[in-house]
Amino acid sequence: MKIDVQNLHSGPVTITLDHTSRYFDLGGEDYQVVDNIRGELTFSLIRDKVLMQGILQTHIRMDCIRCLEPVDLYIKKDVTLYYIHKSEEKGKEDVINLEGIESSYYQGLIIVPDNDIRELILVELPDYPYCKEDCKGLCPTCGKNLNTGSCSCQKEGKNSFPEGDSWKNTLKNIES
């Protein structure tokens, strides 16, 4: 995907995305992209910078970290990113002064946003995906998914601490 910056002098350019995850080199051991990367991005020239603005969306599948069942996540991201010409890099202050808007660099007269699009989607992936907020996870003993019902080890677990109340009695004795 290429944006010719010279074309932006005559007005903003909008591109429509509908690309496979492979195109953006997305997908890994801990997540799958199960839909195309779709969206619309508008590039406009603002003084000496190029503003990329629009929306990105796709569907991602990850495993719930508690029960390991697949979780489908709908990613929808508003994108605002400044492209700064590489020759301006020495004025690093510029980047900080862009009112908190993320920025990237381009060289020559062509912007290739592919890598930035990839990064923008990757930062949306949760570190700890859950199938639901109150996921009960797997029994550490038998591995049963506790969302589908309890297992017999839980009861046995209680029995393995027969003198569970004895420390409370001891404490009472000390206090009295």
Q: Using CB under 5 A as the criterion, which residues of the chain lie in contact with Zn ion when the complex forms? A: 64, 66-67, 131, 135, 139, 141-142, 144, 151, 153
Q: Which lies closer to Zn ion via its Cβ, residue 59 or residue 144?
A: 144
Cβ atoms of residues 86 and 105 within 8 Å: yes
Residue nearer to Zn ion on the CB measure, 73 or 151: 151
Question: Is residue 57 within 8 Å of residue 39, measured between CB atoms?
Answer: yes
Closest CA to 27 of 122, 150, 91: 122
Which structure tokens are listed for 101? 């808007």
Q: Which is nearer to Zn ion, 39 or 129 (CB)?
A: 129
Q: Which stretches does DSSP call E strand in the chain?
A: 3-4, 13-19, 32-33, 37-46, 49-63, 70-85, 102-106, 110-111
Name the minimum Å distance from CB 130 to Zn ion: 6
User: Minimum CB separation from Zn ion for residue 63, in Å?
Assistant: 9
Cα atoms found within 13 Å of the Cα of residue 24, Cβ hemisphere only: 26
Closest separation between CB of residue 160 and Zn ion, Å? 13
14 or 152, CB closer to Zn ion?
A: 152
Considering beta carbons, is residue 19 or 144 the nearer one to Zn ion? 144
Q: Which pair of structure tokens corresponds to residue 88?
A: 């301006």
* CA end-to-end distance (rounded Å), the chain: 78
As measured in angstroms, the least distance from the Cβ of 151 to Zn ion is 3
Q: How many C-beta atoms surround the C-beta of residue 113 within 10 A? A: 22
Q: Shortest Cβ distance from residue 32 to Zn ion (Å)?
A: 17
